[in-house]
Chain A
Amino acid sequence: MMMNHSLKNQFNVKPGTLIEGKWHHNQYKIIKELGFGANGIVYLAQFRNQTVALKMSDNGMSVTSEVNVLKSFAKVQGSALGPSLLDVDDWQQRGGQISFYVMEYIQGPDLLTFIQQNGQVWTEVLILQLLNDLHTLHKNGWVFGDLKPDNLIVTGPPARIRCIDVGGTTIQGRAIKEFTEFFDRGYWGLGSRKADPSYDLFAVAMILINISYPKRFNKTSGDLKQLEAMIKGKDELKKYESTLLQALKGNFSSAKEMRTTMLQFNQPQPDHKTRDPKRRQTQTRQSNKSVSRQTYTKKKKKRGLFETALIFIIISLLYMFYIYGQLT
Chain B
Amino acid sequence: MKTGTLKQILLITDGCSNQGEDPIAMAALAKEQGITVNVIGVMEHDIIDEKGMNEIEGIAMSGGGVSQVVYAKQLSQTVQMVTRKAMTQTLQGVVNRELQQILGGNKKVEDLPPDQRGEVMEVVDELGETVELEVLILVDMSASMKEKLPTVKEALLDLSLSLNARSGDNHFSVFVFPARRKEVEKVLDWTPNLGSLTSIFGKLTTGGITPTGPAIREALTYFKKKRSLRSLFSRDDESFFEESV
Contact = CB atoms under 8 A, between A and B. Distances in A.
Contacts, number: 67
A156 interface: no
Interface stretch (A64-72, A118-126, A311-319): A64-72
B161 interface: yes
B25 interface: no
B124 A192 contact: no
A173 B88 CA distance: 18
Interface stretch (A174-182, A234-242, A247-255, A271-279): A174-182
A60 B117 contact: yes
B109 A60 contact: yes
Interface size class of A (residues with CB under 8 A): 20 to 34
Contact of A68 (B68, B76, B113, B118): B118
B198 to A, nearest CB: 13
A200 interface: no
B129 A175 contact: yes
A133 interface: no
A60 B69 CA distance: 23
B6 interface: no
A2 interface: yes
Interface residues of B, number: 30
B109 A181 contact: no
B165 A67 contact: no
Sorted nearest first, the 7 A-B pairs with minimum C-beta distance are A175-B165, A193-B165, A88-B114, A64-B121, A194-B165, A175-B166, A64-B117
Given A60-B117, A174-B165, A193-B162, 20 more contacts: A1-B70, A2-B68, A60-B109, A60-B110, A61-B124, A64-B121, A67-B118, A88-B115, A97-B110, A99-B114, A174-B166, A175-B129, A175-B163, A175-B166, A176-B162, A186-B158, A186-B161, A186-B162, A187-B158, A193-B165
Interface of A: 1-3, 23, 38, 60-61, 64-65, 67-68, 71, 88-90, 97, 99, 173-176, 181, 186-187, 192-195
Interface of B: 68-70, 74, 76-77, 81, 88, 92, 109-110, 113-115, 117-118, 120-122, 124-125, 129, 158, 161-167
24 contacts: A1-B74, A2-B69, A3-B68, A23-B113, A60-B109, A60-B110, A60-B117, A61-B124, A64-B118, A65-B121, A67-B114, A71-B118, A88-B114, A99-B110, A174-B125, A174-B129, A174-B165, A174-B166, A175-B165, A175-B166, A181-B77, A186-B161, A187-B158, A194-B165
